[in-house]
Amino acid sequence: MKFEHIRHKPPRALTEDRPLIVACSPLRSNVNLSTIFRTAGCCGVKEIIATGNVKLINKIARDGAEHVKLTVKNSLPPVLKKLKADGFTLVGLEQTTNSTQLSEYAFPKKTALVIGSEREGLADACLALLDDVVEIPVWGMPYSYNVATSTSMAIYEYCRQYPDG
Amino acid sequence: MKFEHIRHKPPRALTEDRPLIVACSPLRSNVNLSTIFRTAGCCGVKEIIATGNVKLINKIARDGAEHVKLTVKNSLPPVLKKLKADGFTLVGLEQTTNSTQLSEYAFPKKTALVIGSEREGLADACLALLDDVVEIPVWGMPYSYNVATSTSMAIYEYCRQYPDG
C-alpha cells in the first residue's frame, strides 16, 4: 500500500530552540488556552505567557502542559514592554487598521505573538504597544475564528517560515 | 493610533465558490466537528461530509452550522469513491509513508480533504483510496495535533494557495 500509518514518527529536528513566545490576553476559556498549549507543544514553542484566571486542562493540553513553560502574569502591557526591551517584535493577531494578511507577513524570528481575548480581542493598551498586526482573512460567516484556531494557524504560519527553528 | 479594531470588517471576496470539500471519519467529539464547521464557515467552504454519530453544537459551530452544508453518511469509502468519480483529488491528512509536508503540497483546486478520527486516524480502507497524503510536521510533544486544529491548519493552507477562490 502506498500510504501506511507511521504511528511513532520522530519529530522534525530544530537546529535551535524556537524563540517564538505566545502572550495571551485573559481568555474566558481554559479549553482554548489548553488547546493552544497542545499546538505550541507540537510546534516546539518553549513558553506561553498567560493572564487572567488560568488553569490548564491537562487532558486537552496533553504533553504541552509539561513541555511548554507557562508564565502567568496579572496584566499584558508590562509583559509586552519587557518583551520589546528583550528584543522581541510584538505581533498582534487581530483585524485592525494597518494589519497585514498572515500569509504575507514575514515573521521576525524573535516574535512575541500577542493574542486577544475571545470577545473583546486585544485591548487598546496592548494594541498601542504592538509593532505589527497580522490578520487571518475570512471569506464567510461567522467572520471570526475561534481563538485557539486562529492562534494555531498563526503558529503554523510562523513554523512554515522557520521549519528548522 | 496605528492599530485600531475593525469590528465588522467585510469578508474577503471569492471570485467563485470554493470547491474544497472536507470529508470526516467518525469523530468521537462533536466539539471537534463543530469547531471544524466554524473554521470552514469562515473560509467559505461549502460542504462537509461527516460520518458517525454527528450532532452539531451550534454554540461552537456558530454560523458555520447554517452556512456550511452538512452531509451525513454511514461510511467514508463509498463517499470517497463518489468524490473521485466527480473529479476531486482525495487528500488525506495523516502521517504516513509517502506523505507530503502540508506547506509543500500544491493543492488541486478540487480537493476533498479527508480527515481521520481522533484516535485511529484514517482507516486503511480510506488510505487505500487516497491520491495524496499531507502531514503537518511536529517538532515536540505530544507529537499530534488536535483534529480540529490540524484540519484548520490544512484549510488555512488551502486558502493561502487560493486566496480568491
DSSP class of residue A121 equals B
**Residues forming a β-bridge with B101:** B135
- Whether residue B1 is contained in a domain is answered as no
SS3 state at B51: strand
- Whether residue B97 is contained in a domain is answered as yes
CA distance B24 to B148: 11
* Cross-chain CB nearest to A142 (options B64, B133, B138): B64
Do the Cβ atoms of A143 and B14 come within 8 Å? no
- Whether residue A96 is contained in a domain is answered as yes
Instruction: Provide the number of CB pairs (under 8 Å) joining chain A to chain B.
Output: 193
Closest of B36, B66, B57 to residue B155, by C-alpha: B36
Got the DSSP string for A4-61?
Answer: -B-TTPPPPP-SS----EEEEPPPS-HHHHHHHHHHHHHTT--EEEEESS----HHHH
pLDDT value, residue B8? 74
Q: Could you tell me whether strands A89-93 and B89-93 are parallel, antiparallel, or unpaired per DSSP bridges? A: unpaired
In the sheet that holds B132-135, the strands lie side by side as B69-73, B47-51, B21-24, B111-115, B89-93, B132-135, B100-101
Q: Which helix (H) or strand (E) holds B92?
A: strand B89-93
> What Rg do the C-alpha atoms of chain B give, in angstroms?
16
**Cα B59 from chain centroid?**
20
What value, to the nearest 5°, has the Cα angle with vertex B133 and ends A16 and B82?
Answer: 160
Q: Could you tell me whether strands B89-93 and B132-135 are parallel, antiparallel, or unpaired per DSSP bridges? A: parallel
Where on the phi/psi map is residue A38: left (φ > 0), alpha (ψ -120 to 50), or beta? Answer: alpha
Chain A CB contacts of B138 under 8 Å are 11-12, 42-43
CA distance A155 to B138: 12
Do the Cβ atoms of B142 and A2 come within 8 Å? no
Total of domains in chain A: 1
CA distance A144 to A138: 7
Range of the domain at A98: 21-161
Closest of A149, A65, A138 to residue A115, by C-alpha: A149
- Whether residue B132 is contained in a domain is answered as yes
* Cross-chain CB nearest to A95 (options B9, B39, B41): B9
Mutation for A interface: B1, B2, B3, most A CBs within 10 A: B3
pLDDT value, residue A7? 79
pLDDT value, residue B78? 98
Written as nine digits, the cell of B137 is 510536521
pLDDT value, residue B6? 92
Note the pTM of the prediction, 2 decimals: 0.97
The CATH number of the domain where B27 resides is what?
3.40.1280.10
Find the residue in A nearest to B143 (Cα). Answer: A42
Chain B CB contacts of A154 under 8 Å are none
- Whether residue A89 is contained in a domain is answered as yes
pLDDT value, residue A44? 97
Q: pLDDT digit of tens for each residue in chain A (165 aa)?
A: 899 999 778 899 999 999 999 999 999 999 999 999 999 999 999 999 999 999 999 999 999 999 999 999 999 999 999 999 999 999 999 999 999 999 999 999 999 999 999 999 999 999 999 999 999 999 999 999 999 999 999 999 999 999 999
- Whether residue B4 is contained in a domain is answered as no
- Whether residue B46 is contained in a domain is answered as yes
pLDDT value, residue B1? 85
- Where b means 16+ CB within 10 Å and e means fewer, A36-73 reads bbbbbbbbbbbbbbbbbebebbeebbbbbbebbebeeb
* Cross-chain CB nearest to A139 (options B42, B127, B148): B42
Chain B CB contacts of A153 under 8 Å are 152-153, 156
Find the residue in A nearest to B160 (Cα). Answer: A103
- Whether residue A1 is contained in a domain is answered as no
Written as nine digits, the cell of A9 is 514518527
Q: What is the pLDDT of residues B101-115, one digit of tens each?
A: 999 999 999 999 999
Residues in chain B with pLDDT < 70? none
